[in-house]
Amino acid sequence: MLYGWKINHTVIEGKRMAFVGSAWGLFGNWIKWLILTIITLGIYGFWVNIKIMDWKAKNTRFRN
C-alpha cells in the first residue's frame, strides 16, 4: 500500500505514474520464492530482494 501510494503520487516529466500490482500477485510470488528458498537451502533468498524490485518495476506504469 505504501509503495502504491508513493508511485500514484509521483509525476515524471509531467506524466503521472500508476501502480497496478495487487496484493494477491505479490502473495503468490512470496509463496514461490519461499519454496525456492527452501529447496535451495537458503541460497535463493539472496535474490528475493531483487525479485521484489523487479515485481515493483513490472507493475509500475505511466497513466494516459
Q: Where are the domains of the chain?
A: 2-62
CB 9 within 8 A of CB 2: no
In b/e form, how buried is each residue of 11-47, taking b as 16+ CB within 10 angstroms?
eeeeeeeebebeeeeeeebeeebeeebeeeeeebeee
CB 44 within 8 A of CB 33: yes
How do residues 4-23 score in pLDDT, each as one tens digit?
Answer: 999 999 999 999 999 999 99
Q: Count of CB atoms within 10 A of residue 64's CB?
A: 6
Residue with cell 509525476: 11
How do residues 16-56 score in pLDDT, each as one tens digit?
Answer: 999 999 999 999 999 999 999 999 999 999 999 999 999 99
pLDDT of residue 6: 94
